[in-house]
């Protein structure tokens, strides 16, 4: 039997680099591959191309890549630690919380001018505090309780968002609704300073506890008899995934299905154990969102399609295909 | 055999329980249970459903904390160990749940390294050798890349035992390892466990298997120990009819010369007759 693992990694890393390079040339104005190469590694031929590549596309592609990677990593970690293949960062109320934060910021405290990302992040943090409060107050701390707490908090915060939007003015409502659909149009280098460190911290922590996380894949009982403090490990994972999702949602809005779908696509090729899975989903989640964004900014010419619309459409079709193949 | 063990039993006691009591919300699960496990001994815990067998095991490996009494591991109170330290000395094969992800046999065996490795530590060449030796002992070396859920029940149980062996603990605790297995695998698993030469505590439903493989037995009923000793001491007509509420007779197994128990369907008349016989 030939070990195909190194080949798969080479292919994945190669695809990552190619995707980054190609997507730099694609957009409302097409730039040839040679020009992109020159702009990146030597001198741009025109100041306009320089501006398009360095000021607009490069930050957008990097933010998109980190966002896709982060969502996929958070999704994989949550699915593995809850042993629930349907777990998703969105299931824990993080996006609903961010939505509520963004809504309150735009509708009620518009004068304070706190900035959408900041308010969205505060909202997401609030939802996590709520979920954790519910989980730690329930006596048994069972797995199902954690998922149910997430769903309950999610619906409650969505209801509050809808209520506020219903009475808010049309302009603010529009702004929030478009933000909730997800976009990289506002991407700038500043977003990377927040997103990249959280992603790196999440990956480093996951590497540190990779053995413990792997042991959790069989059963809680199994992990406990190996001396692992299962409840603490799971709450730790929830917090780090929440932080990761919160910074991504704060800057990019609601981008659904990436965290749910990418781990499912990757497991058959790279296995289920933490280290291999996380690096593979990080790269492929990043590639996926970079290409989704290319579609978002080119498909309708000058008009951009919200990212969440595309990812949800692809995600639902993916799951229908997956269901058919499983039967 | 039993004489040689008892002469230096003080130094060779691996695990012991003294007057354990455990209840959940006023319901007494375990009451005044005392037992000892000596080096290299295979102790079978038997008893009817709901007798408290699994709870007793959980008390012994620290998953539950007893409200009264104490468990002593290597002459030190179990409560004074951290979970990690217990895991270095006691390996547990619990009744496993089915998992939804495709773990390979190797992935599962590798889990046994957890109590011995620090954060970030990678598998050393020695670790890999330990894993391969464990897989070899359970005869799964050729199936290590197979997905756990696609294996037969016996193979799954062996994979879990391999994981316990990688843990390199002196004590092995197994909760109903022969459950759901056909008779071939029941014998395969129990002879495998016996061959490992570890100190073993195992719950078994089949009394004849327990008699055949265990050095000592502990008969549990309603959370209390009815009898603790050799299979001959524990498996008596009187005690068995009392605990299992069925008429029974005892003779010897033709192959192993160990005790064989035959139960009859519930029948009060027969029960009375056998009691009279036993008293004679």
Model pLDDT for residues B22-78, shown as the tens digit of each residue: 999 889 999 999 999 999 999 999 999 989 999 999 999 999 999 999 999 998 999
Of A62 and B10, which is predicted with more confidence? A62
Query: DSSP readout, B193-210?
Result: HHHT-SEEEEE-S-HHHH
Q: What is the pLDDT of residues A38-57, one digit of tens each?
A: 888 877 778 888 888 888 88
What pLDDT, on a 0 to 100 scale, did the predictor assign at position B7?
44
**Interchain contact, A214 vs B94, CB within 8 Å:** no
Give, as one character, the DSSP assignment of residue B19.
Answer: E
pLDDT value for B207: 94
**Quick check: helix, strand or coil at residue A277?**
helix
Residue A250: predicted pLDDT: 86
Q: Which residues of B touch A218 (CB under 8 A)?
A: 96, 99, 103, 108, 111
Closest CB to A222: pick one of B86, B94, B113.
Answer: B94
Distances (CA, A) of A92 to A130, A192, A246, A297: 10, 24, 11, 30
Predicted model pTM: 0.89
CA distances from A82 to A209, A237, B157 (A): 15, 10, 23
Distances (CA, A) of A188 to A142, A244, A281, B45: 41, 18, 24, 65
Q: For residue B266, is pLDDT > 60?
A: yes
The sign of the CA dihedral A14, A19, A22, A24 is negative
Cβ contact A53:A30 at 8 Å: no
pLDDT mean over B188-206: 94
Chain B: nearest CA to A48, how far in angstroms?
47
Write out residues 260-299 of A within 8 Å (CB-CB) of B.
Answer: 267, 271-273
Interface test with B, best of A226, A271, A275 (most B CBs within 10 A): A226
Q: Is A28:A301 a contact under the CB 8 Å cutoff?
A: yes
Asked whether B163 and A221 are in contact (CB, 8 A), the reply is no
Residue of A nearest to B147 (CA): A271
- Closest CB to B111 among A224, A226, A272: A226
How large is the average pLDDT for residues B107-119?
93
pLDDT mean over A231-254: 88
**Minimal Cα–Cα distance from A205 to chain B, Å?**
9
Quick one: average pLDDT of A150-165?
A: 90
pLDDT of residue A114: 66
The Cα–Cα gap between B158 and B119 comes to 28
pLDDT, chain A, mean = 87
Reported confidence tier of residue A168, pLDDT bands at 50, 70, 90:
confident
What are the Cα distances from residue A15, in Å, to A25, A114, A283, A315?
16, 39, 9, 21
pLDDT for B279: 64
Start-to-end Cα distance in chain A: 29
Q: According to the model, what pLDDT value does residue A1 have?
A: 54
Q: Which residue has the tokens 């009475």?
A: A167
Cβ contacts (< 8 Å) between B90 and chain A: which residues?
Answer: 225
pLDDT of residue B5: 43
Cβ <8 Å between B99 and A214: no
Q: Give the Å distances, CA to CA, from A100 to A87, A92, A108, A113, A125.
A: 22, 14, 11, 16, 11
Q: Are B120 and B164 in contact (CB under 8 A)?
A: no
Q: Which one of A109-118, A229-238, A316-325, B223-232 scores highest in mean pLDDT?
A: B223-232
> What is the residue-averaged pLDDT of chain B?
89
pLDDT over threshold 80, residue B274: no
Average pLDDT estimate for B106-125: 92
The reported pLDDT for the residue numbered B6 is 45
Highest mean pLDDT, choosing among A118-132, A292-306, B11-25, B42-56? B42-56
Please indicate whether, in this complex, the C-beta atoms of B101 and A272 are within 8 angstroms of each other. yes
B96 interfacial to chain A (CB closer than 8 Å): yes
What is the CB neighbour count within 10 angstroms for residue B16?
17
Which residue of A lies nearest to B93 if distances are taken between CA atoms?
A: A222
> Could you state, in order of their start, the residue ranges of all structural domains in chain A?
52-326
pLDDT higher than 80, residue A218: yes
Q: Is A199 on the interface with B (CB under 8 A)?
A: no
**CA–CA distance from A244 to each of A69, A74, A209, A276, B146 (Å)?**
10, 7, 17, 19, 34
Looking at residue B256, its pLDDT comes to 82
Q: Which fold has domain A52-326?
A: ABC transporter involved in vitamin B12 uptake, BtuC (1.10.3470)
pLDDT per position as a tens digit, B145-169: 999 989 988 899 999 999 999 999 9
Where residue A235 falls among pLDDT bands split at 50, 70, 90?
confident
- Token pair in block for residue A308: 């969440």
Nearest CA-CA distance, residue B87 and chain A, Å: 5
Q: Parallel, antiparallel, or unpaired: how do β-strands B248-252 and B224-229 relate?
A: unpaired
pLDDT of residue A246: 87
Q: Which residues of B touch A211 (CB under 8 A)?
A: 111, 113-114, 117, 121
In which band, very low, low, confident or very high, does the pLDDT at A34 lie, cut at 50, 70 and 90? Answer: confident
More confident residue, B36 or A36: B36
Q: In B203-267, where does DSSP find H-type helix?
A: 207-213, 231-234, 237-244
Q: How confident is the model at residue B1 (pLDDT cuts 50, 70, 90)?
A: very low
The residue that leads in pLDDT, A297 or B279, is: A297
- State the virtual CA torsion across B36, B42, B47, B50 in degrees, nearest 10: 80
Q: How far is the C-alpha of B271 from the C-alpha of A76, rounded, in Å?
A: 59
Q: Phi, psi (5° rounding) for residue B81?
A: -90, 150
pLDDT for A300 beyond 90: no
What are B101's two structure tokens? 């992800």
Give the H or E element holding residue B138: none
Confidence bin at B2 (pLDDT 50/70/90): very low
Least confident of A158-172, A207-221, B1-15, B78-92: B1-15
The confidence band for A327, taking pLDDT boundaries of 50, 70 and 90, is low
Distance separating the N- and C-terminal Cα atoms of chain B: 31
Backbone φ, ψ for residue B33 (5° rounding)? -95, 125
- Do the Cβ atoms of A225 and B104 come within 8 Å? no
Say which residue, A315 or A2, is predicted with more confidence: A315
φ, ψ (nearest 5 deg) of residue B70: -150, 155
Distance CA A111, CA B107 (A): 56
């Amino acid at each position: 039997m030939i070990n195909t693992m190194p080949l798969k990694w080479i292919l994945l890393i190669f695809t990552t680099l190619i995707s980054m390079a190609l997507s730099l040339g694609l957009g409302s104005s097409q730039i040839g591959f040679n020009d992109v190469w020159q702009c990146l590694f030597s001198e741009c031929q025109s100041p306009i191309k320089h501006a398009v590549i360095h000021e607009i596309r490069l930050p957008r592609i990097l933010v998109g890549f980190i966002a896709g990677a982060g969502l996929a990593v958070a999704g994989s970690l949550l699915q593995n630690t809850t042993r629930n293949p349907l777990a998703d960062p969105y299931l824990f109320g993080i996006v609903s919380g961010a939505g509520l934060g963004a809504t309150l910021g735009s509708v009620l405290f518009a004068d304070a001018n706190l900035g959408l990302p900041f308010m969205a992040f505060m909202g997401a943090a609030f939802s996590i505090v709520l979920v954790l409060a519910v989980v730690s107050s329930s006596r048994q701390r069972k797995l199902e309780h954690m998922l149910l707490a997430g769903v309950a908090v999610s619906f409650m915060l969505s209801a509050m968002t809808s209520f506020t939007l219903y009475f808010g003015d049309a302009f603010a409502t529009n702004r929030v609704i478009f933000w909730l659909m997800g976009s990289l149009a506002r991407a700038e280098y500043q977003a990377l300073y927040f997103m990249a460190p959280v992603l790196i911290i999440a990956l480093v922590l996951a590497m540190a506890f990779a053995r413990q996380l792997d042991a959790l894949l069989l059963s809680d009982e199994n992990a406990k008899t190996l001396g692992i403090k299962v409840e603490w490990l799971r709450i730790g994972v929830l917090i780090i995934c929440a932080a990761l999702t919160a910074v991504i949602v704060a800057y990019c809005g609601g981008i659904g299905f990436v965290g749910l779908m990418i781990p499912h696509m990757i497991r058959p090729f790279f296995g289920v154990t933490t280290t291999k899975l996380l690096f593979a989903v990080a790269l492929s989640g990043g590639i996926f969102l970079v290409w989704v964004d290319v579609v978002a900014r080119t498909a309708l010419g000058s008009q951009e399609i919200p990212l969440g619309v595309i990812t949800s459409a692809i995600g639902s079709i993916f799951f229908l295909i997956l269901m058919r193949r499983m039967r | 055999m039993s004489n040689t063990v008892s002469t230096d039993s003080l130094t060779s006691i691996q695990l012991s329980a003294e007057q354990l009591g455990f209840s959940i919300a006023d319901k007494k699960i375990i009451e005044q249970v005392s037992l000892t496990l000596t080096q290299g001994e295979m102790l079978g815990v038997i008893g009817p459903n709901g007798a408290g067998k699994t709870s007793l095991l959980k008390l012994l490996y620290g998953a539950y904390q007893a409200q009264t009494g104490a468990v002593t591991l290597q002459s030190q109170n179990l409560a004074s160990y951290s979970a990690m330290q217990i895991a270095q000395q006691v390996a547990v094969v619990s009744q496993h749940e089915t998992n939804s992800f495709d773990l390979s046999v190797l992935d599962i065996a590798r889990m046994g390294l957890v109590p011995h490795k620090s954060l970030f530590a990678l598998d050393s060449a020695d670790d890999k050798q330990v894993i391969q030796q464990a897989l070899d002992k359970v005869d799964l070396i050729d199936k290590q890349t197979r997905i756990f859920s696609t294996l037969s029940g016996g193979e799954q149980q062996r994979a879990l035992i391999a994981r316990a062996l990688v843990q390199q603990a002196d004590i092995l605790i197994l909760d109903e390892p022969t459950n759901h297995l056909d008779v071939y695998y029941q014998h395969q698993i129990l002879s495998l466990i016996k061959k490992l030469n570890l100190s073993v505590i195992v719950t078994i439903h089949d009394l004849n298997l327990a008699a055949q493989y265990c050095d000592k037995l502990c008969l549990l009923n309603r959370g209390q120990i009815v009898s603790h000793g050799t299979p001959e001491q524990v498996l008596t007509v009187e005690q068995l009819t009392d605990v299992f509420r069925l008429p029974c007779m005892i003779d010897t197994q033709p192959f192993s010369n160990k005790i064989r128990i035959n139960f009859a369907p519930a029948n009060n008349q027969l029960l009375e007759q056998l009691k009279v016989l036993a008293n004679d």
